[in-house]
Structure 1
């Protein structure tokens, strides 16, 4: 427990040093600190991809299947074979967004598919909310305004 706390403080100090050295503006500094604190609170500073990197592919696939079972049970993957799901599971990456942060912006090139597994997000156009996407009682929610 103490080593985790020490690691948190070390990484937080590194982040603050980085911000200071590069003279980042206050708004960017705040966003970085909020993201760091949010991701740390969710995963206690453990990067699953880094942790599992040295494990054999077969074992990593089994672990990835377990960690991503909720996503892999979505209807979009219904017809996929077990081998396909195992392969996909190795490429799933978890992203966290703090409130007010943009996931993607109109015109951005997409390099991934996104699934909301926790919380919700707003779809905006010209600062107007077009939809709220997310989960309600662990079931997909789509609310159109």
Structure 2
């Protein structure tokens, strides 16, 4: 418990030092700090990909299948083979988006497919809410 708290304080200090050294504007600084705090509160500072990188591929795939079972049970994947699902599970990355942050903006090149696994998000056009997406 104490080592985790110490790690949190170390990473917070590193982030604040980075912000100071690079003269990050106040509004962007606040967003960075909120994102860090939100992410930490969700995963307690544990990066699953970093933690699992030293495991053999077979074991990592089994763990990834377990961690991503809700996503892999979506109708989109119902015809996929087990091998395909195992491969996909290794590519799934969890992202956290703090309230008020944009996940993607119109015109951005898409780098991934996003699934809302908890919470909700708004689809905006010209600051007008077109839809609210949930799980």
Q: TM-score range by the shorter chain?
A: over 0.9
Instruction: Determine the structure 1 residue equivalent to 2:109.
Output: 109
Please state whether the residue corresponding to 2:87 is helix, strand or coil.
helix
Deviations for 1:24-63, whole angstroms, at most 9, x for unmatched residues? 0001000000000000000000000000001000000000
| Mapped pair 1:58 → 2:41 | no
Structure 2 gap segments, 5+ residues each: none
Q: Which residue of 2 aligns with 1:44?
A: 44
What is the CA–CA distance in structure 1 between the aligned matches of 2:53 and 2:131, rounded to whole Å? 38
Extract structure 1 runs of 4+ deviating beyond 6 A.
Answer: none
How many Å separate the matches in 1 of 2:46 and 2:40?
8
Point out the structure with the larger strand share.
Answer: 1
Equivalent residue for 1:141? none
Matched, 1:95 2:91: no
TM-score for both structures, normalised by structure 2: 0.99
Structure 1 Cα separation of the partners of residues 43 and 123 of structure 2: 27
Q: CA RMSD in A?
A: 0.4
Structure whose residues are more often helix by fraction? 2
TM-score, normalised to structure 1, is: 0.92
With a CA cutoff of 8 Å and minimum separation of 6, indicate the structure with the bigger relative contact order.
2
Give the count of matched residue pairs. Answer: 135
**In the aligned structure 1, how far is the partner of 2:82 from the partner of 2:16?**
44
